[in-house]
Structure 1
Amino acid sequence: MDAAPFHTGEQALQARTGVRERMEEIGDKVIRDHMPDQHRELFGKLPTMLLGAQDDQGQPWATMLHGPVGFVTSPDARTLRLQARPAPDDPVAPWLSEGAAIGLLGLEFHTRRRNRANGLVRALGDEGFEVQVLQSFGNCPKYIHARRPEAVERRSALPAQRLEPALDGPSIALLRRADTLFIASASSARAGESSANAKSEGVDVSHRGGLPGFVHVATGPRGLRLTLPDYQGNFFFNTLGNLLAWPRAGLVVPDFDDGSLLHLAAQASICFDGPALDAFPGAQRLLQLDVRHGWWRPAALPLRWSTPEAPPQFGV
């Protein structure tokens, strides 16, 4: 059986869940090497774009880029152009280079539409960069809190603060009240270096959402541990499959009230059963993230967001 478009980590989780053959049948139909027109149209409407990349140690990092509507364009079905670059203090900035594997997630928060486009950086310039799309697929609107962004006047830049594994009070408080975060992951320590498995391997960035408090913060044997419930999804297992293959994750947690961004690097593990899972009703498994270090970037985005509307899956 041809492994494309899923790599061994994704296949293992699909097999564990009993959907391996079904996902193989539909995989090539939903994970494409080009963007359908509706995906290209969505990207062009957005004021933000989520981005994931790896550093030289293989650690994934996630960030949120922003620009005026239209800062993302698609000249053809296999190309995205972004007229934006990560700020110099963004942990992604040093690793956005020609040929680097990256993951992109376009999310229109107020409609809950989201699409992914993963690939390789091309034509890197001072004001932006181009992406050769190798993987394109959509996601359902589940677990997304609807909210609208509004541009505000940018304040004077405040310096980024490096955080040790224990983090600090403001970052822990943000995690405990968060209803949304994003996770960057990779299929290997050097994802994207070989084009042989371009359809199944690379860097990815995905959304996680829940009611405020869904991120469980506790001190574990390795320091600060974050636990996220994983609910039933599309059975692709793009994120968890990556983390099974290469257990490092990069998180970005937006503060929708003041535009700050919390970036975290973590070691990942997956809990499939036991008392810990029983404590999260409805969860299929748990994603456990041991924090290694992070960055707090105050007022990084010149955006503020409306009061969220909870997704219907949470019955609120």
Structure 2
Amino acid sequence: MLEQTRQDAPSPWHEGELAMQRSVGVVERMDGPGRNFLRKAMPEQHRAFFPMLPFIVLGAVDAKGDVWATVRAGHPGFLVSPEPEILDVSLARDPADPADAGMEDGDAIAMLGIQLETRRRNRLNGVIRRADAGTFHVRVGQSFGNCPQYIQPRSSAFVRDPDLATAIPPLHSGQLDDRARRMVEGADTFFVASYVDRNNGERQVDVSHRGGYAGFIDVGADGVLTIPDFPGNRFFNTLGNFLVNPKAGLAFVDFATGDMLQMTGRAEVLLESPEITAFPRAERLWRFTPEAVVFRPDALPLRWSLPRDL
């Protein structure tokens, strides 16, 4: 039997992504890019990109079905692609990281390679095949690039060996305390993980970057985050996932201290709301209600700095 062509193959978009695309009238326009840009293997430029990175953003789902976003660091070269369908990852298990529970053999995972100083980013998702406690590889399900919009340029440097974990224990809570609230309210960058279980039985996890002006997230008195969705590539991976499965995981990094704030909870997409006008350039909003919060002081061995001309 002849292999299906991209135009004959089923749409790569699931129903949630299609519903978001319908909401702005771009379903037909996004069909071609979906077939052409969502690949089942990494192009050469992506394979060359990942080994340069000193950190990776991950999205994983724990045994309870909660999704977590995290950032993990390593010496450049800890990510290597021996073939287009595979990304090898050298990272030790980290019981302090709530996302680590979703990184067992056979688990679905999402990865975002992002180079803040150049504003390059590439995403992939796939399935973990774990060799041991210090390595695993990901068999690619989808691989695609993203534009540099909303990425705040930053340069990074290690302040300790990335193989040495911090001695400071994580702090667990069911809600945002004042420190976490300040971290969210002052952020210009965060990462969000989401997932769906496709009709073919495969779990598809996504993790992406969200950026804006400092203070672009509103935190209500009840601890609920209201987040603007700015004009983008119309893929709607994150919001489309929320329509099907309203679970979300957020990660905020204090770039000056290496502290990380991780949350898992529920998301709601607001396609129309009078509140949208309060957020410059926003096309729609989404809300996030935290259900579990983990604050991890000194979690990352990297420190980032802004360009000198800012």
Q: TM-score, normalised by structure 1?
A: 0.91
1:168 aligns with 2:177: yes
**SS across alignment from 1:24:** helix
Structure 1 CA distance for aligned equivalents of residues 108 and 169 of structure 2: 28
Does the 8 Å CA contact 1:61/1:92 hold for their aligned counterparts? yes
Q: Which residue of 2 aligns with 1:107?
A: 114
Q: Which residue of 1 aligns with 2:205?
A: 203
Does the 8 Å CA contact 2:174/2:292 hold for their aligned counterparts? yes
Structure 2 CA distance for aligned equivalents of residues 46 and 306 of structure 1: 16
Q: Which residue of 2 aligns with 1:54?
A: 61
Match for 1:231: what amino acid? F
Question: Is the deviation greater in 177-186 or in 154-163?
Answer: 154-163
Q: Shift of residue 272 of structure 1?
A: 1.4
Q: What runs of 5+ residues in structure 1 fail to find an aligned partner?
A: 311-315
**SS across alignment from 2:281:** coil
Structure 2 CA distance for aligned equivalents of residues 309 and 169 of structure 1: 30
Q: Shift of residue 308 of structure 1?
A: 5.2
Q: Per the alignment, do residues 309 and 254 of structure 1 end up closer, same or farther by CA in structure 2, a change over 3 Å counting?
A: farther
**SS across alignment from 1:92:** helix
Count residues with an aligned counterpart.
300
Does the 8 Å CA contact 2:17/2:239 hold for their aligned counterparts? yes
Q: What runs of 5+ residues in structure 2 fail to find an aligned partner?
A: 1-7
Match for 1:164: what amino acid? G
Offset from partner CA, 1:124-176 (integer Å, 9 cap, x none): 412121000010000000000000110002685101000222x1111111111
Offset from partner CA, 1:277-301 (integer Å, 9 cap, x none): 1111211100110111210010011
Does the 8 Å CA contact 1:145/1:308 hold for their aligned counterparts? no
**SS across alignment from 1:173:** helix
**SS across alignment from 2:242:** helix
Q: Shift of residue 26 of structure 1?
A: 2.2
Structure 2 CA distance for aligned equivalents of residues 207 and 82 of structure 1: 20
- Among 13, 20, 33, which residue is 2:27 paired with? 20
Structure 1 CA distance for aligned equivalents of residues 86 and 301 of structure 2: 27
- Among 181, 186, 192, which residue is 2:190 paired with? 181
Q: Shift of residue 24 of structure 1?
A: 1.1
Q: Shift of residue 3 of structure 1?
A: 4.2
Q: Shift of residue 88 of structure 1?
A: 1.3
Q: Which residue of 2 aligns with 1:40?
A: 47
Q: Which residue of 1 aligns with 2:288?
A: 289
Q: Shift of residue 123 of structure 1?
A: 2.8
Q: Shift of residue 25 of structure 1?
A: 2.1
Does the 8 Å CA contact 1:51/1:62 hold for their aligned counterparts? yes
Q: Per the alignment, do residues 9 and 3 of structure 1 end up closer, same or farther by CA in structure 2, a change over 3 Å counting?
A: farther
Q: Per the alignment, do residues 79 and 309 of structure 1 end up closer, same or farther by CA in structure 2, a change over 3 Å counting?
A: farther
Q: Which residue of 1 aligns with 2:84?
A: 77
Match for 1:176: what amino acid? E
Q: Shift of residue 77 of structure 1?
A: 0.2
Q: Which residue of 2 aligns with 1:128?
A: 135
Structure 1 CA distance for aligned equivalents of residues 301 and 33 of structure 2: 40
Structure 1 CA distance for aligned equivalents of residues 20 and 279 of structure 2: 20
**SS across alignment from 1:22:** helix
1:270 aligns with 2:304: no
- Among 38, 52, 73, which residue is 1:31 paired with? 38
Q: Per the alignment, do residues 113 and 275 of structure 1 end up closer, same or farther by CA in structure 2, a change over 3 Å counting?
A: same
Structure 1 CA distance for aligned equivalents of residues 75 and 24 of structure 2: 42
**SS across alignment from 2:96:** coil
1:243 aligns with 2:239: no
Offset from partner CA, 1:34-78 (integer Å, 9 cap, x none): 000011111110000000011122211010111001110000000
Q: Shift of residue 309 of structure 1?
A: 7.8
Q: Which residue of 2 aligns with 1:63?
A: 70
Q: Shift of residue 260 of structure 1?
A: 0.8
**SS across alignment from 2:206:** strand
Structure 2 CA distance for aligned equivalents of residues 285 and 174 of structure 1: 23
Does the 8 Å CA contact 1:80/1:131 hold for their aligned counterparts? yes
Q: Which residue of 2 aligns with 1:159?
A: 169
Structure 1 CA distance for aligned equivalents of residues 166 and 97 of structure 2: 16
Q: Shift of residue 197 of structure 1?
A: 6.7
Structure 1 CA distance for aligned equivalents of residues 40 and 201 of structure 2: 12
Q: TM-score, normalised by structure 2?
A: 0.92
Q: Shift of residue 86 of structure 1?
A: 4.5
Q: Shift of residue 94 of structure 1?
A: 1.7
Structure 2 CA distance for aligned equivalents of residues 175 and 62 of structure 1: 15
